[in-house]
Amino acid sequence: MCRLPATPHLRRAALARLVWGLLAGGLGLPGRAAPAVAAADSEWSAPEVVARILHYTRWPGEPRPLTVCITRQSEGATALLQRLQAADAGRALTTLAIDADQPLPPACDVVFFDGWSLTGQQAALRRLANRPVLTIGRGAEFCSDGGLFCLESRPGGTRFEVNLDAVARSGLRIHPQVLRLAQPPRSAG
């Protein structure tokens, strides 16, 4: 039997390592290849976190190729494009470079927001609300504005939070273990 540490912080960290280890080691969804195996205590870069979130998300009416729209002004756009192109062969992906603060193409199934103005990002998220589009951005305010996943880079890796209300409204199915790993969004109060 596995015992988790007593303090909530250590318990969350231990659970995160255990779950990511299981996900990486083969607890994938039926009919899907598990992502490349990584040590359970690894710290992942933002492109790796995005690739894993994408891997464990299901869209209504699958299977079909997905269009991933990435802001070309993003400091990590090149690394993210390379990681997604090297991703598991379980899903066909098309990547599309988009410009910040410009109308989004209707074909986007995933949008990685980076380098957008606050007002441009908020307007785009309002237009995407209640649609099956996986939205990922940086900072906790991204989730407060209606984004699904918020990334926060820290020394040693990238952490993420999830906006469960936005996920529920989107109609996307995200593996429960991924949702458990995410920190809940910070309250504005």
Question: What pLDDT does residue 21 have?
Answer: 42
Which residue spans within 30-99 are E strands per DSSP?
Answer: 57-58, 66-71, 93-98
Question: What pLDDT does residue 59 have?
Answer: 93
Question: What pLDDT does residue 187 have?
Answer: 54
pTM listed for this prediction: 0.71
Question: What pLDDT does residue 38 have?
Answer: 25
Pairing of strands 157-162, 149-154: antiparallel
* CA 143 to centroid of chain Cα atoms: 12
d(CA 110, CA 71): 11
pLDDT digits (tens, 9 = 90+) for 52-70: 888 889 999 877 889 999 9
Q: What does the block give as tokens for 102?
A: 């410009």
Question: What pLDDT does residue 72 have?
Answer: 86
d(CA 164, CA 121): 19
Is residue 114 within 8 Å of residue 75, measured between CB atoms? yes
pLDDT digits (tens, 9 = 90+) for 9-29: 444 444 444 334 433 433 333
| Sheet of strand 134-138, all strands in order from the earlier edge strand to the far edge | 93-98, 66-71, 110-112, 134-138, 149-154, 157-162
pLDDT in tens for each of the 189 residues of the chain?
A: 334 344 444 444 444 443 344 334 333 333 332 222 222 223 678 888 888 888 889 999 877 889 999 988 877 787 888 888 776 546 788 889 999 999 999 999 999 999 899 999 999 999 999 999 999 999 889 999 999 999 988 777 888 889 999 999 999 999 988 877 775 545 554
Question: What pLDDT does residue 3 have?
Answer: 40
CATH superfamily, domain 43-181, is Response regulator (3.40.50.2300)
- List the domain boundaries for the chain: 43-181
Question: What pLDDT does residue 90 have?
Answer: 62
